[in-house]
Amino acid sequence: MTDNVAAALAYIWIVAIVFLVIEPYNKQRFVRFHCFQSLFFAVFWVVLWVAMHIIFGILLSVTGFFGLIAIPIYGLVGLGGFILWLFLLFQAYSNKEFKLPFIGDLAAKQAGA
């Protein structure tokens, strides 16, 4: 498998974990970078959703009508995250090392930049 295909597949988080364990992918810096960026992005995404659920739950219990506003916000955030995920996948497939702010620097450091 070529490096760009492996890097693109790394944006499926379970595949990223496997690639970080098996050779030759765990030795290739480009693949390792995309594996770490994928995993850090997944963690960020889970934390964002948990925070949104907590904040919207509190606001809904306090205001009551906030649920009408929260539903489209969930949809927009979800769509934005999906588009960003597809963009990252495409960048990896195009042999580009696109770095997300903060997450990309952490991934580069972990990959051995």
> What pLDDT does residue 39 have?
95
Q: pLDDT digits over 7-63, tens only? A: 999 999 899 999 999 988 888 889 999 999 999 999 999 999 999 989 888 888 887
CB 92 within 8 Å of CB 34: yes
> What pLDDT does residue 68 have?
74
Q: Which residue has the tokens 């693109």?
A: 8
Higher-confidence position of 67 and 81: 81
> What pLDDT does residue 78 have?
93
Rg (CA), the chain: 17
Burial of 13 (0-12, 13-18, 19+ CB in 10 A): middle
Inter-CA distances, 4 with 12, 24, 35, 39, 57, Å: 14, 14, 12, 17, 41
Backbone CA torsion sign across 56, 78, 36, 101: negative
